[in-house]
Each structure stands twice: as structure tokens, then as C-alpha cells.
Amino acid sequence: MTAGVFATVAGIALGCALVVGALGLLALRLLSRGSLVTQLIVVAFATVASVVSGTAAVASLMYLSVHDLTVFYSVAVVAGIVSLVMASVLGRSLVRDNRYFRAAAVSIGRGESVISPERHTSTEFASLAVELAATADRLSESREQEERIETARREIVAWISHDLRTPLAGIRAMAEALEDGMAPDPDRYYVQIRGQVDRLSGMVDDLFELSKIHAGALQLNLERVALYDLISDTIADLAPVALAKSLNLCFEGERGLTLQADARELARAVGNLVMNAIQHSPAGSAIVVSVTRHVDGRAVISVVDAAGGIPEQDLGRVFEAGWRASEPRTASDAGQSGGAGLGLAIVDGIVRAHAGQVTVTNVGGGCRFELLLPQHPAG
């Protein structure tokens, strides 16, 4: 084929393709709101029509025989029918995937799980379906977590309101008795009022501390801390409270272990654990605070009591803000727990701020709380 003939053939084919392509684009524009199957059939038909029209135009110029043109048209018709059938099948598959993705979007909006079908039109659609299912699961977990947080918030508000009302009512009653001159022992009333005010102040401090933890605003002043000195000071501060309940509060373990920590916040966490043990332990029992080194190098501060343990179904909620056990840990501590269920939540927040972990397990006759703290939390 000479260059001139090739140019002629190419020009004719290009011209026919442009005309058919323009008509196809016009048809697609008119069918823009139509079915995807119809649009794919138009594309397949335009492709076949472009080939047939170009070949027919070239053949008419080359004066091919009628027999040859008939054979060509027969082949073109068969190929066109097969192409249209394939386009229809592909279109139906795409429509099926489209229905699935629409249903998946609706399910995600309703907070329901999404199940990916076994087959998709392409690998890309299969990957998209898997990602949609994973997204639905993540959103479901987020909704559940948000519901738990909202439930905990409502519980905190309810319990704080109740716990504030009790000391406030006592203070009001004692103040009215003092004002009316009906107090048989004014000095004792003054002491009781001071004690109730201290209790209210402690609850406000706990709320403020917890709000800083939840807001991510807890700033640590890291320094080298000797754990034995920190725990000894905590035991000394709480020993009178333990003695008043006839409890044996003691220390065991290593004495030379140190780490980088905020001494004030860490002392608060340990103090909350010890006070929790004191509140729930029966008279005559022991509370053991110990310090050891974990096999991975972390420091372990543990508080073991003999308060009867925690129901297995409640172990996972111990460190939730506002949580209270579904039943007393011992029969003797009913009505003594007090507080607003914030102490252990504060412990968890402080330990997490130190890049550590707090755990609780039931041991013989009581509980074992452990703080696992890295040597260098900033790292």
C-alpha cells in the first residue's frame, strides 16, 4: 500500500469515526439520566458502527465485489450483536454493584453493618466494598463508644448531683441549728461542717482533674522519681485513715527503683488506689502496696486488698468515669463507697498520660490493681 492510499484510507476511517463518535456522544448526553446498561449499549454500538462505516466507505471507493461486502456486513452484524450482548451483561453487573453500594450507604447511615457480596464486577469494586464494610464497622464502634460516653456522662451528672446534695443538706441543717442556737455542741458542728466542705472540695478537685484528662490538657512535669519515697509518703498520709478501720497498710518490693514521672500526679494515682482499697476492705484485713520491675523493664506499682473482688462482668468497666459496681465488694461496706466513681477513672487517665497501663484482676479474696509505667514516658 502506497503512502497516498494509506493516507486516504486513514482519512476516511477517521472521518467516519468522528461522525459516529459525535452522534454517540450526543446520544449519551441525551441519555445522561438513563440506565447505565443503555449507555454501555450505545458505546458498544458506536464502536461497531465506527468500524463498519469506515470499512464500508473505503470498500465503496475500492470497488469491492458485492459478495465481499455481503460477507463483511454479515461478520460485522454478528460481531455487533455479540458486542451489544457483552455490553448489556457488563451493564447489568455494574447496575447490581450500584444497587449494592447504594444499599451499603443507606446501611451506614442507619448505623447497620454492611456485608460484602461474594462477587463484584471488578477488583476495584471488590476493594471498595471491603472498605465500605470496614468503614461501617468503625462507625458502629464509634457510635457505641459515643453512646457509652454519653451514658457515663449522664451517670456522672446524676451521681454527682446526689453526692453533692447529701453534704450540702447536712451543712444546711447544721448551719440552721447553729443559727437558731439549737446545736447542743457547736464545736462538734463546726468540725463536721469543715469535714463536709473538705469532702465537697475533694469532689470538685476530682471533676476538674477528670475534665483536664478528657480534654487532653493534663500537663506532666517529668522528673526523676524514687518510687519507694513516693509510696512511703502516700502510705504515711493515709495510714491514719487505714488505722481508723483497723487495716494493715504496708509496703513490699524493691526500694531503689526510679523512673521519669510527674511526682504529684503519680502520687495522686497511687493514693486513689490505696483509698479505694481502704474504703472497701473489711476491718482487720491487709492492704499491700508493692513495687517491682516487669520483665520488659517497666516499673510495676501494685495495690492488693482483701475486699472480696469485683464481679467478672464489671471488671471491664472499673476505670470508666462514673462507674459503680453492680453490687458491693463486701457485705460490710454497703453505703460506704461514697464518691462519684471518679477515682479510678483519674488513675487510668494519669497512667495513660505517662504512656503506661493500669490493670485489675481478682486474686484470692480481693483485687490486685497494677500500674505498669515505662522508664521514660516522653519517649
Q: What is the pLDDT of residue 121?
A: 62
How many domains are contained in the chain? 3
Is 354 a domain residue? yes
Is 313 a domain residue? yes
Identify which of 115, 111, 113 has the alpha carbon closest to the alpha carbon of residue 146: 111
Is 143 a domain residue? no
Q: At which of 110, 135, 163 does a domain end?
A: 110
31 and 70 assigned to the same domain: yes
Is 193 a domain residue? yes
Is 65 a domain residue? yes
311 and 346 assigned to the same domain: yes
Is 142 a domain residue? no
Identify which of 365, 227, 244 has the alpha carbon closest to the alpha carbon of residue 308: 365
Q: At which of 214, 232, 253 does a domain end?
A: 214
Structural contact between residues 288 and 308, judged by C-beta atoms closer than 8 angstroms: no
232 and 353 assigned to the same domain: yes
Q: What is the pLDDT of residue 62?
A: 64
Angle (nearest 5°) at CA 199 between 196 and 204: 130
Is 136 a domain residue? no
257 and 200 assigned to the same domain: no
Structural contact between residues 313 and 245, judged by C-beta atoms closer than 8 angstroms: no
- Joined grid coordinates for residue 195: 469535714
Q: What is the pLDDT of residue 370?
A: 94
65 and 191 assigned to the same domain: no
Q: At which of 167, 186, 214 does a domain end?
A: 214
201 and 71 assigned to the same domain: no
- Cell match 465506527: residue? 50
Q: What is the pLDDT of residue 117?
A: 62
> Which of helix, strand or coil describes residue 91?
helix
210 and 245 assigned to the same domain: no
> Containing H/E element for 155?
helix 123-180
User: Under the phi-then-psi rule, with left for phi > 0, alpha for psi from -120 to 50, and beta for the rest, what region is 338?
Assistant: left
Provide CB contacts within 8 A for 333, sequence distance 6+.
279, 280, 281, 282, 307
351 and 241 assigned to the same domain: yes
Return averaged pLDDT per consecutive 10 residues of the chain, 379 residues in all.
70 74 78 73 77 71 66 73 76 76 77 66 73 81 80 73 79 88 84 86 81 79 92 91 92 88 92 91 92 90 89 82 58 41 85 92 90 80
177 and 63 assigned to the same domain: no
**How far apart (Å, rounded) are the C-alpha atoms in residues 374 and 371?**
10
Structural domain that includes position 201: 151-214
Where do runs of H (alpha helix) occur along 62-122?
Answer: 66-110
Q: What is the pLDDT of residue 127?
A: 77
Q: What is the pLDDT of residue 323?
A: 65
Separation of CA 356 from chain center: 19
Q: What is the pLDDT of residue 337?
A: 39
CATH number of the domain encompassing residue 162:
1.10.287.130
Identify which of 293, 298, 314, 292 has the alpha carbon closest to the alpha carbon of residue 367: 314
Q: What is the pLDDT of residue 330?
A: 46
CATH number of the domain encompassing residue 319:
3.30.565.10
Is 132 a domain residue? no
252 and 277 assigned to the same domain: yes
**How far apart (Å, rounded) are the C-alpha atoms in residues 364 and 287?**
13
Characterize 312-322 residue by residue with b for buried, 16 or more Cβ atoms within 10 angstroms of its Cβ, and e for exposed.
Answer: eebeebbbbbb
Provide CB contacts within 8 A for 73, sequence distance 6+.
52, 56
34 and 55 assigned to the same domain: yes
